[in-house]
């Protein structure tokens, strides 16, 4: 059996950090037992913008939360950006499009609650 390599959508990571009930125990167990879990720089960027706009309040920087959780930081590469630009326009959110492109490029399974992700050829675990 292959190694489980996950990429958390921004809201899934925030739910993980906050121990939010919206992230059920079965999904928490999948994340906790994964071989490697990534959080994208796109999530840090998205969260920072939402904090600045007053739409999100988080107790600490995303990077600190990633490190505390023993997750891996996934940088945005030029190849990711170019791949995101070539995706079909099923989803308009640029941050989610980046996560989709990164999951495809790095052969990761995306963990998300956003059903718009189903329109792309990327494996998703639904949270």
CATH number of the domain within which 91 lies: 3.40.50.1010
Q: Where are the beta strands (DSSP E) in 3-127?
A: 5-8, 36-40, 72-74, 109-112, 124-126
Please, what are the averages of pLDDT over each run of 10 residues along the chain (127 residues)?
88 96 96 98 96 92 95 98 93 92 98 92 94
pLDDT at site 26: 96
CA 33 to chain centre: 17
Q: Based on the structure, what is the number of domains in the chain?
A: 1
DSSP letter (8 states) at residue 61: -
Which domain, by its residues, includes 57? Answer: 5-126
pTM of the model: 0.94
């Amino acid at each position: 059996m292959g190694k489980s390599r996950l990429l958390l959508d921004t809201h899934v990571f925030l739910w993980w950090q906050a121990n939010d009930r919206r992230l059920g125990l079965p999904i928490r167990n999948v994340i906790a037992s994964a071989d490697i879990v990534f959080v994208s720089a796109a999530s840090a960027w998205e969260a920072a913008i939402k904090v600045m706009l007053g739409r999100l309040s988080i107790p600490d920087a995303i990077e600190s939360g990633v490190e505390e959780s023993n997750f891996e930081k996934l940088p945005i590469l030029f190849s990711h950006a170019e791949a995101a630009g070539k995706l079909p326009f099923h989803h308009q959110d640029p941050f989610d499009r980046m996560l989709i492109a990164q999951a495809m490029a790095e052969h990761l399974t995306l963990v998300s609650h956003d059903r718009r992700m189903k329109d792309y050829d990327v494996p998703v675990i639904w949270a």
